[in-house]
Amino acid sequence: MDFARPLPAFLVQRYHGWKATTYAENRAWYRRLADEGQRPRAMVISCCDSRVHVTSIFGADQGEFFIHRNIANLVPPYEPDGNQHGTSAAVEYAVTALKVAHLVVLGHSQCGGVQGCLDMCEGRAPALEESSSFVGRWMDILRPGYEAVKEAEDKPRALEKEAVKVSLNNLMTFPFVREAVEGGRLSLHGLWTDIGEGGLSCYDPASDGFVPI
């Protein structure tokens, strides 16, 4: 493991700044969180994209949100085949062990993963179609969503929102999610944020669309 490197100086410096301020001011709370365990109110599934800041948008305090981030905020369908499913593991832990009350899927504008899926669906991305492409195979989860948006005026935006809907629908294929939702112990929410405008819309079942908050 001689390839591992020390942390870059700018991160070391920022960490020390955090330790001397935010940590010092909240030490008692962090100790309690360490001693008594987390009890997050909600799970958020968002994209890895560096421009999406869940904690900032929602004024999050340490301990409030259990956050899973993957490419394009996707949830695959329930597949208990004994293989490794990182997203399904995160959902299982949040719902069955932590018993979160809310599960939020947060999509966003200018999503590179969604654009890649669109390019695959329209034959413009042979590299992503290769079986060795991890991004391509991951974005296959969204392929069934293409049908619903192929006539849309702004296909990338439409497919980003479709990704939220696909994930919400896939979540309901997990027996423990469905049971918690039907038993009134868990609420599902679909959001989409516009990075440039700072906008936030919520999926509304009545209109089957996203309405600004």
Taking CB under 8 A as the criterion, which residues in 163-202 touch its own copies?
Answer: 165, 168-169, 172, 180-181, 184-191, 194-198, 200, 202
161 near its own copies, judged by CB under 8 A: no
Restricting to residues 30-59, name those near its own copies by CB under 8 A.
30-43, 48-51, 53, 55-59
148 near its own copies, judged by CB under 8 A: no
**Smallest separation, CB 190 to its own copies (Å):** 6
Please name the residues in contact with 138: beta carbons below 8 A apart, sequence gap of 6 or more. Answer: 70, 71, 72, 74, 113
Q: Do the Cβ atoms of 46 and 21 come closer than 8 Å? A: no
28 near its own copies, judged by CB under 8 A: yes
Distance CA 154, CA 29 (A): 46
Distance CA 144, CA 157 (A): 16
24 near its own copies, judged by CB under 8 A: yes
Q: Is 53 annotated as a binding residue?
A: no
146 near its own copies, judged by CB under 8 A: no
**Smallest separation, CB 50 to its own copies (Å):** 4
Give burial (CB, 10 Å; 0-12/13-18/19+) of 140: middle
Please name the residues in contact with 38: beta carbons below 8 A apart, sequence gap of 6 or more. Answer: 63, 66, 98
Residue 82 phi, psi dihedral angles, 5° rounding: 80, 0
**Smallest separation, CB 206 to its own copies (Å):** 8
Q: Is 154 annotated as a binding residue?
A: no
212 near its own copies, judged by CB under 8 A: no
82 near its own copies, judged by CB under 8 A: yes
Tokens 């305090």 locate to 61
* Amino acid identity for residue 67 in this structure: I
Q: Is 47 annotated as a binding residue?
A: yes
Alpha helices, DSSP H only, in 37-140? 54-57, 86-92, 112-121, 126-129, 134-139
150 near its own copies, judged by CB under 8 A: no
162 near its own copies, judged by CB under 8 A: no
**Smallest separation, CB 211 to its own copies (Å):** 9
104 near its own copies, judged by CB under 8 A: yes
